Structure 1
Amino acid sequence: MVNKEPTVRRPRGVRAGLDRDQIIAAAKTLDPAAVTMQAVAGVLGVDRKAVNHHVSDRETLLGLVAMDAFAESFSEVRFATRSHWQEACRTYAMGFAEAVIAVGPLADHLQLGNPFVTTMLEASEVIVRKLIEAGADDETALRGLVLLTNICLAHARDVIAIATTDVPPRPELLRRAMSGHSPEIPLLARIAELKVDTYDKAQLELSIDVFIAGFSRRLTDGDSPRT
């Protein structure tokens, strides 16, 4: 009679000794496209149900990994104690955009939920306070914060898209669009030949400059800004 070795079962649920941080850390070792609940369970050496006990599905897991990468980068943002509102906005904007870019292809999985809001609380408080001190009312300060955030989010997603897809840069798209167009469009043709990189830091800085100039005008049209 052959003695069979006892079957070794992978631990499940709470008994696996897992927590979300361990699951996220395991998922971060995988290429984003390869992240599945089973793949993460394999990295951890546990049954898939142990992972499901803490994270319900793949989309939730990808969101957690994205949020972890964002929070790690954004935590490095520091505001000068006596900075004016313009400087604070620049610091916030550059840090926010860089943090989203650091997330890479998973940026689309960043969701406006409790982890995201919690990560942003202190920085958001600084920006809102600076804008109010400059003369904005509460509503205008909130709208300014949202606008600045959206500007940076759009830029960051552009940067990620051009790095991770086969979509040609804007000048090339423009040249292709004009190749069979009649009549000629001379100004756009000239601009297209410049081959300007609209995904670089200079593009973001221009966007921030326009925001600051516009908000300054908004403050001037109302109460005089206090700097």
Structure 2
Amino acid sequence: MDEVRAARRGRGVSVGLDRDRIVAAARTLDPDTLTVQAVADALGVDRKAVTYHVSGRDGLLELLADDAFTARFEVVEIPVGTDWQTGLRLIASSMRDILLGSGAIVSHIRFDPSTRAAALHPAEIVLGTLVAAGFDETVAVRAIALVTDVAMAHARGVLLNARAGGHPQRAELHEALSTMDAAASPHLRRIDDAGFSTFDEEQFAFDLDVIIRGLEARLATP
């Protein structure tokens, strides 16, 4: 039995293990219960073979998250002839949808050179539409950065809100209002009582509308 186990397991180099094989194995496992040992078992190697390439559970989740983001953003296309407004919306929507699709691993996306490279092509196209419309390159880059930041924040808020108990900020607001006089903060109380949520499609559309209208006003100002 020991001989069979020894033949089955080995260090990362000796068994030909690499990051691609580790990612492929990790994709088949539940991110909530993902461990180095689980990946090692799925690959039929010793735990040390996996830790040779990636350190611990957090390292595994980062590797899995970056792979998911890169694979999905590489297929994002900005159609020829797209105006800058639509281009910004496409960049933001793609970022938001990819992050939402990443689910539990979204917080582990680190936006290292590989993930940033995946977004360069669509960003270059949208940057060109902004410059062609009359924005200078600095403002154009800031506009793209702004809509992607909004998309990231919205996606993370949606995922937090989907957890048991909802988004922690909503619970904190409710608790704070419960300690105050009933006549205080009437607007917030009505919003709280109605269960109003900012973690929906309407909020995301609102955010992008405000940004784009602001940019249009800036462009129209001599």
Question: Normalised by the size of structure 1, how large is the TM-score?
Answer: 0.86
Gapped runs of 5+ residues in structure 1? 223-227
Deviation at 1:40, TM superposition (A): 0.8
SS at structure 2 position matched to 1:193: helix
Corresponding position of 2:195: 195
Q: What is the aligned partner in structure 2 of residue 225 from structure 1?
A: none
The reply to whether residue 81 of structure 1 matches residue 75 of structure 2 is no
CA distance in 2, matches of 1:165, 1:120: 32
CA distance in structure 2 between the aligned counterparts of 1:61 and 1:189, rounded to whole angstroms: 43
1:156 and 2:145 equivalent? no
Does the CA contact (< 8 Å) of 2:157 and 2:167 recur in 1? no
> Does 2:45 align with 1:49?
no
Q: Distance in 1 between matches of 2:54 and 2:105?
A: 17
Q: CA offsets per residue over residues 2-31 of structure 1, 9 Å max, x none? A: xx8745411322331222121012112222
Show the counterpart of 2:112.
Answer: 113
Describe the SS at the equivalent of 1:158: helix
What does 1:44-193 align with in structure 2 at a 5 Å threshold? 44-168=43-167, 173-182=172-181, 183-193=183-193
1:13 aligns with 2:1: no
Cα deviation, 1:153-194, whole Å, max 9, x if unaligned, reads 000000111123534576665444323322432222333333
Q: Distance in 1 between matches of 2:101 and 2:2?
A: 47
| Cα 1:36–1:67 shift into 2, 3 Å | same
1:67-99 deviations in Å (ceiling 9; x for gaps): 122233334432221111001111111111010
Greater helix share, 1 or 2?
2
RMSD of equivalent CA atoms: 2.2
Change (3 A) 1:59 1:5: closer
State which structure, 1 or 2, has the greater radius of gyration over its C-alpha atoms. Answer: 1
Unaligned runs of 5+ in 2: none
Q: Which amino acid aligns with 1:198?
A: T
Deviation per CA, 1:6-63: give whole Å up to 9, x if none.
4541132233122212101211222223222222111110112221232244322211
CA separation of 1:62/1:169 partners in 2, compared to 1, >3 Å: closer, same or farther?
closer
TM-score, normalised with respect to structure 2:
0.88
8 A Cα contact 2:10 2:46, kept in partner: yes
